[in-house]
Structure 1
Amino acid sequence: MTEFVRAVQIRWSDLDPNFHLRHSVYYDWGAFCRMEFLNANGLTPAAMAKLGIGPILFREECTFRREILMGDEVSIKLSVVRAREDFSRWSIQHQIVKAGDTVCATITVDGAWIGIRERKLVTPPEQVHHVFELMPRAEVFAWQ
């Protein structure tokens, strides 16, 4: 897949007292985009429960570049920037863009898979490998 992009809507409740997007909304949009990608490729919450795994985050960081205001047209793009070859650990980047080409923020998350019964990190099953192979790779993608 060359690109995975989702449009997002700005709600009144997403704004702070300065009438621009609250910082926590960016993180919510990142989670939304990641789950949209997994769901679109068959790795739904029900599928993960059946496999006995779930994603966890070790780090989530956002770099803010431009403000987002009510009425802006905003989309979020997802790509994997680093991964172990077994996809047991990974880093995903999200670019939040307004007006089609203005990068407003970049979110980077570092994560892994946890066995929901064992409550320990696990190597994911083959179905996860297949989904992550479909994820667009950043220009700076590197195997860990």
Structure 2
Amino acid sequence: MTPKDPLTTQATADAGSAPEHDSAADRPFRVRLTVRHSDLDTNGHVRGSAYVDFADHARWACVQKAGVDPLEMTRSGLGPVNLETTIRYHRELRAGDEFDVTCVFAYDGTDKKTGRATQEFLVADGTLAATVESVIGLLDLETRRLVPDPASHWRRLATVPALLGAD
């Protein structure tokens, strides 16, 4: 891995770079990221697709922190899917800005196949920069259909299922 340069390296979820919560009681999970020049649009602020990339990165970091092994999940025939994403911008992020992305998962049981991931992008002083909300599910990799009750599958796969809203 290359040295950490906030303007050129891939955003990472290094254990010592930001507070990551170890128990569900300490939710929401958060990961610290840094804006790179490649994340910017011609206006000099983070482009929309980079917010989606940051949100995906943070969700995967949360899944792994919950104790889910991505390879084991694939071997079990499941894969997480994002069915819809809404981004709300509150304050622009620019090159070199450090920010935290939180992850909160919820399964309300209305259709038994989908849930919601709500993620806040917070700058160091706590100012809300953006909110990303996604409709999520788990895909049966053989049938290519959403599985019912995804929370039950997360409980089976995770050592800390509460981080994934499956408590």
Matched, 1:33 2:37: no
Matched, 1:44 2:69: yes
Q: Which runs of 5+ in 2 are unaligned?
A: 1-23
Residue among 105, 108, 121 paired with 2:133: 108
Matched, 1:55 2:87: no
What is the Cα deviation at residue 84 of structure 1? 2.5
* Aligned alpha-carbon RMSD (Å): 2.4
Query: Bigger shift: 82-91 or 97-106?
Result: 82-91
TM-aligned CA distance change 1:62 to 1:70, over 3 Å:
same
Trace 1:1-144 onto structure 2 (pairs within 5 A): 1=24, 2-3=26-27, 4-84=29-109, 88-123=113-148, 124=150, 126-129=152-155, 131=158, 133-135=161-163
What is the Cα deviation at residue 127 of structure 1? 5.0
Corresponding letter in the other structure for 2:41? D
TM-aligned CA distance change 1:10 to 1:102, over 3 Å:
same
TM-aligned CA distance change 1:133 to 1:109, over 3 Å:
same
Give the corresponding residue for 1:142: none
Q: Which runs of 5+ in 1 are unaligned?
A: 138-144
Corresponding letter in the other structure for 1:93? T
Is the Cα contact below 8 Å between 1:74 and 1:100 reproduced in 2? Answer: no
Give the corresponding residue for 1:140: none
Aligned identity (percent) is: 24
**So what's the TM-score if we normalise by structure 2?**
0.73
Encode CA deviations 1:53-89: one digit per residue, 9 max, x unaligned. Answer: 1111221110001001123221101112443299742
Q: Which has the higher contact order (CA 8 A, sep 6+)?
A: 1
Deviation beyond 4 Å, 4+ runs, structure 1: 124-127
Is the Cα contact below 8 Å between 2:106 and 2:164 reproduced in 1? Answer: no
